[in-house]
Amino acid sequence: MPLHPFFQMMMESFAAAGRPALSDGTPEQSRALVAAGRAALGPGAEVGSINDLSIPTRSGAIPARLVLPKTAPIGLVVYLHGGGWVIGELDDYEVLARHLATLSGCAVLLPDYRLAPEHKFPAGLEDCEDALLFAAEKASELCSANVPLVVAGDSAGANLGTVAARRLRGRVDLALQALLYPVTDCDVDRPSYLAHGEGLPLTRKDMLWFFDHYARRVQHGHSDISPLRAPDLSGLPPALIVTAEYDVLRDEGKAYADRLAEAGVPVTHRCAAGLPHGFARLHNHVAAVDAEIRTVAAAIAAACNRARA
């Protein structure tokens, strides 16, 4: 179907205003560009509480934010934010975290993992692994009950989540991995890259910029950066993978879902029709986006309820 009118108008307004692409500036400039749009996301849902805390990691403590729903949590979601391993702050994702907590009935933990290029691969990945280990150990303290654990994330955060889940296979019990338009490969010549590589929120040029900031080019095909290339995906947690029709990452997300299914992992794949990369944080503005987030939240709640049964 055609690109949703909201996003069509958004891209036209960006072009008219001369808004630079994420990859046109330095990482600091791109972070400032994303932060400047934070207020436009709209209000966050009313929740039980929001607490800042620290997560110990092998390289020192990192900040985190815990969003608790109004009711007793039925699960704990470790949500890893997107931003190409380069961009993203806790404040950029609190509105989405509030929405997920409210809809799913779960607590949502947002780790502020280290970003590239200041901290190259595997620094951010190690932080995310350690955040999952922390959540698994402290779930009963964070949620006042022993609840199931879910890893979720979008884009590069979804990449970090599924790679961390594989690296922690057998050590951390996850009820679900909920992956929104994940980065799963470094091949930038797939059909979706060629079809949607320009004029949309995420371009082919942006992805090359993100990859080069995150790791040396010789590392891009490593399975801890391109999880589609991992030789063994068996034994991973059940997965929900949501791709976007107008996204350079669409094809690799579908390919990853297929690989998981071939490895015997229960997987559900949805392609969000008419939506581009990065849609999740705009749930306050677009009914179709809100519907996708509600589907993700329902899948998280269902997985937690199954694990609790």
Query: Residue 260 maps to which CATH number?
Result: 3.40.50.1820
Provide the pLDDT for residue 22: 92
Q: Which pLDDT band holds residue 205 (cuts at 50, 70, 90)?
A: very high
224: CB partners within 8 A, 6+ apart: 121, 122, 125, 163, 167
Provide the pLDDT for residue 285: 97
Please give the C-alpha separations between residue 161 and each of 12, 124, 165, 278, 302, in angstroms, as whole numbers: 33, 11, 6, 17, 19
> What percent of the chain is modeled with pLDDT above 70?
100
Catalytic residue, chosen from 92, 206, 224, 247, is 247
Give catalytic status of residue 185 as yes or no: no
Structure tokens, 293: 């987030």
Mean pLDDT across the chain: 97
Q: Which pLDDT band holds residue 309 (cuts at 50, 70, 90)?
A: confident
**Residue 52 in 3-state DSSP?**
strand
Q: How far apart are CA 23 and CA 6, in angstroms?
A: 23
Give catalytic status of residue 206 as yes or no: no
Provide the pLDDT for residue 59: 97
Structure tokens, 55: 């997560």
Q: How far apart are CA 271 and CA 247, in angstroms?
A: 10
Q: What is the mean pLDDT of residues 128-135?
A: 98
Structural domain count of the chain:
1
Beta strands 76-80 and 62-68: pairing type? unpaired
Lowest mean pLDDT among 37-46, 98-107, 282-291: 37-46
Provide the pLDDT for residue 13: 96
Longest Cα pair distance anywhere in the chain, in angstroms? 54
Q: What secondary structure letter does DSSP report for 176?
A: E
Catalytic residue, chosen from 23, 155, 192, 226, is 155
Provide the pLDDT for residue 125: 98
Q: How far apart are CA 9 and CA 247, in angstroms?
A: 17
Q: What is the mean pLDDT of residues 174-184?
A: 99
Structure tokens, 101: 């907590």
Q: How far apart are CA 130 and CA 133, in angstroms?
A: 5
- CB–CB of 57/122 below 8 Å? no
**Residue 286 in 3-state DSSP?**
coil
pTM (predicted TM-score): 0.98
Give catalytic status of residue 155 as yes or no: yes
Q: Hey, CA dihedral for 268, 269, 272, 273, is it positive or negative?
A: negative
Full domain range(s) for residue 207: 5-308
Q: How far apart are CA 66 and CA 15, in angstroms?
A: 37
Give 180's strand partners. 154, 242
**Residue 84 in 3-state DSSP?**
coil
Q: How far apart are CA 257 and CA 261, in angstroms?
A: 6
